[in-house]
């Protein structure tokens, strides 16, 4: 049985189109990875995979058609990523907040409900990290990407990023029992938020990193 070389060449061109557009997308979005960091990233990857998967083997879809499908979706993704960076409320709606499941060694049932987790599922996640169970944990946070960050008893507390590329992260301040007024007072008028690349609070000091690479502990 003779092979249909035109068919396979068409698939090859489509694959090349997908790879090229994904490379362009990672450069346009400023991302250097396709691994999901948030739920929105996972959805984005699923849609890209669905478009590619349903069109690669369809002979009625030409490489130019696939390029147009992918281009439209990737431009939408770039626009949404810009909105997420520019407007904190949009980021909050799309990504949600990390959920504190355990605080000061105490489990928070309402947080488990929000996260859609049970104590048994938490125990499974802890065991995968070599931790015997919730009793050995001082604090646990269910991250935006579905991973679990754990702080065992005796470890240093989790730090929080309170300024991210010039934007005050109010949800992070709330988790640290602080507010924007406290943050501005902490900065002592030395810096304005839009001058700061990253500000990290570790319960003892505020670590301020400027755009020129300078880091100051306040």
Each residue of 99-156: pLDDT tens digit? 888 888 888 888 888 888 888 888 888 888 888 778 788 888 988 777 888 888 666 6
* Distance separating alpha carbons of residues 117 and 147, to the nearest angstrom: 12
Segments of the chain scoring below 70 in pLDDT? 1-4, 25-41, 57, 95, 153-156
Residue 25 main-chain phi, psi, to 5 deg: -65, -45
Which CATH number applies to 160-217: 3.30.240.20, 2.40.50.140, 3.30.1330.180, 3.40.120.10? 3.30.240.20
Residue 50, token pair as written in the block: 């669905």
The correct CATH number of 99-152 out of 3.20.20.140, 3.90.550.10, 3.30.1490.20, 3.30.240.20 is 3.30.240.20
Q: How far apart are CA 122 and CA 181, in angstroms?
A: 36
Domain boundaries along the sequence of the chain: 5-93, 99-152, 160-217
Reported pTM: 0.52
């Amino acid at each position: 049985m003779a092979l249909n070389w035109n068919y396979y060449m068409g698939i090859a061109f489509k694959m090349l189109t997908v790879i090229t557009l994904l490379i362009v997308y990672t450069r346009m979005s400023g991302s250097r990875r396709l691994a999901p960091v948030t739920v929105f990233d996972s959805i984005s990857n699923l849609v890209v995979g669905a478009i590619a998967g349903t069109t690669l083997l369809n002979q009625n879809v030409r490489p130019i058609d696939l390029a147009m499908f992918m281009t439209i979706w990737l431009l939408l993704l770039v626009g949404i990523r810009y909105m997420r960076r520019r407007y904190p409320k949009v980021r909050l709606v799309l990504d949600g907040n990390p959920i504190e499941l355990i605080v000061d060694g105490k489990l928070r049932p309402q947080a488990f409900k929000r996260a859609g987790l049970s104590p048994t599922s938490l125990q499974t996640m802890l065991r995968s990290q070599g931790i015997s169970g919730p009793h050995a944990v001082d604090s646990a946070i269910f991250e935006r990407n579905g991973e679990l960050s754990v702080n065992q008893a005796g470890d240093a507390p989790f730090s929080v990023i309170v300024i991210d590329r010039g934007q005050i992260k109010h949800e992070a301040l709330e988790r640290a029992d602080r507010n924007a007024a406290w943050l501005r007072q902490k900065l002592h008028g030395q810096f304005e938020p839009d001058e700061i690349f990253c500000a990290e609070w570790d319960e003892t000091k505020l670590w301020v990193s400027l755009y020129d690479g300078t880091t100051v502990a306040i």
